[in-house]
Amino acid sequence: MPIVDYLERNRKLYGDEIALVELNPDEKDNRKVSWKEYDLIQQTEDRPFRREISWRVFDEKANRMANMLISRGVKKGDKVAILMMNCLEWLPIYFGILKSGALAVPFNFRYSADEILYCADLADVDVFLFGPEFIGRVEAIVDKISKNRLLIFVGETCPTFAESYRELVADCSSEAPNVHLTYDDDAAIYFSSGTTGFPKAILHNHMSLMHSAFVEQKHHSTSRDDVFLCIPPLYHTGAKMHWFGSLVSGSKAVLLKGTRPEYVLDAVSKEGCTIVWLLVPWAQDILDALDRGDMKIEDYKLSQWRLMHIGAQPVPPSLIKRWKKYFPNHDYDTNYGLSESIGPGCVHLGVENIHKVGAIGVPGYGWECKIVDENDNLVKQGEPGELCVKGPGVMTCYYKNEEATKEVLKGDWLYTGDVAMQDEDGFIFLVDRKKDVIVSGGENLYPVQIEDFLRKFDKIHDVAVIGLPDKRLGEIAGAIISIKEGMECTEEEINEFCMDLPRYKRPKKIIFADVPRNATGKIEKPVLRKMYGVERLVELENKE
């Protein structure tokens, strides 16, 4: 059955039980509260920064959204964009779009005004919903983006150039619309992270969404007793598809706005969270705070927390070893996926395989994998090649981009652009992004391997390795290093630590600076390459 049917099932079976909680601890001290919506969202009096809705209210809100869209002429196959920060309204709006037969088109909340307009045009968006954080960006392009589009504002004080979501849905029916959906119907358009320029539009059908839900529930055994803590942005496939496990099991989930270590442990403690998905930087921040004594585990109720899993990027084995020292009873899993493969799970480690920390794992539930060379031949075990995946969650295509589609879809196989290798036990290790490989004097250097090594140095908080131009070698490995709070470190210390690396793998340039990451925790290497290109390197060397 399509994924919207699970929401209706949960309404019937668990209607009065809590479906979603929103926590906004940044508003706790000054007692601000988020906007309230026609008495359907429960505001907890003793914690005004906490809101919740039941499964019944969730489904009713989705139905109102769907019926409102239909009343405004939205039909099956139309596209409805969402540009909103994580909040209690996000998922009901998403499901309302699906129930109307339209395609949900989530936007990255970091998009500039020009990127918003570009993606709206690329995806042929018919309706555009946006939150209060984006009024300025939308207003800057309103003459262009409002052309033949309905603009809907989700917030308290509606700008004059948009219509109010609250007013539009207030009088709409809370009964499900009569729209028939099949697995083959188009469901959503997501956008690539844009590492090679402006994003590409990724088209998925309802089968993709449903399979991602099955994968998540299967991999992490999400049950009715679980409580999932969701921190990453819902516009991304990863966060939403991990939450799908809660949808399938009919269990509570908590949307936490804020990533400070104390916020995470406080949410786990007070909401009884059992499953937490973290990005590498957030896990590192928690461990660093515990190391410094800023937090003490005994101050929180954490005994029910059974699983911590990480995705979106390679995970340093040293990080998990540190984690297990503080949380020895936690199960751990790594999830690998792409937006083109409907997010996480096409490869996963599995909680039973913690002895293989460092690997991304084995083919996920319902997925197949292969590793090939440049001539599309299978490589031998232990040799690097491009990782390819096949399964029900592979995208339909890059929307309106046949050429780009042909580059990555070959038959039923999706070519990921990631370099991987498989060990003798069949576990897949991610070596690097194909486009991030550094060719230095004819040798291939894989930045992830160097980054994993450097993270073992106890003074390093974060690190990124990129290729920098060099007249003699073509490229050299440059390490951008962020030092832990309160510590000092010299280039000589880094170079001495790197003596255990083979000579050709040692970074030839050390730059102490912040490591930029996007909202899903991935290092923004195109940004770094732009920051530390030829001109910037000359400038730095002149200063020295």
Residue that wins the pLDDT comparison between 1 and 304: 304
Q: Is the dihedral of CA 539, 540, 541, 544 positive or negative?
A: positive
Residue range 43-51: mean pLDDT, rounded: 63
* pLDDT for the residue numbered 40: 43
Q: Which residue has the higher pLDDT, 17 or 110?
A: 17
Tell me the whole-structure pTM to 2 decimals. Answer: 0.81
**pLDDT at position 519:** 64
pLDDT at 354: 87
- The answer to whether position 166 is within a domain reads yes
What is the crossing angle of helices 280-292 and 261-271, to 10°? Answer: 90
Q: Is residue 280 part of a domain?
A: no
Return the pLDDT at 471: 65
Return the pLDDT at 103. 98
**Which CATH number characterizes residue 192's domain?**
3.40.50.12780
Q: Give me the pLDDT at residue 36, please.
A: 39
pLDDT band per the 50, 70, 90 thresholds, residue 367: very high
Q: What would the pLDDT profile of 443-495 be if each residue is shown by its tens digit?
A: 667 787 788 889 889 899 889 888 887 766 667 889 999 998 888 899 999 99
Asked whether residue 485 is domain-assigned, the answer is yes
Kindly state whether residue 121 falls inside one of the protein's structural domains. yes
Number of H helices, E strands in the chain: 17, 28
Is 446 a domain residue? Answer: yes
CATH number (domain holding residue 485): 3.30.300.30
Res 357: pLDDT: 86
Domain-terminating residue out of 155, 183, 205: 205
Question: How many residues comprise the chain?
Answer: 544
Quote the CA–CA distance of 74 and 71 in Å, as a whole number: 7
Domain assignment present for 98: yes
**Does some domain include residue 432?**
no
Domain's final residue, options 205, 227, 243:
205
Structure tokens, 337: 């996926």
Please give the residue range of the domain that contains residue 518: 437-543
Q: What is the mean pLDDT of the chain?
A: 88
Per-residue model confidence as pLDDT tens digits over 52-62: 999 999 999 99
What average pLDDT score do residues 510-519 get? 85
169 belongs to a structural domain: yes
- Residue with structure tokens 């709070």? 485
Number of domains into which the chain is organized = 2
Please say which residue of 137, 171, 205 terminates a domain.
Answer: 205
pLDDT per residue as tens digits for the range 384-431: 899 999 999 999 999 999 999 999 999 999 999 888 999 999 999 887
- At residue 530 the predicted structure's pLDDT band, cuts being 50, 70 and 90, is confident
More confident of the two residues 528 and 93: 93
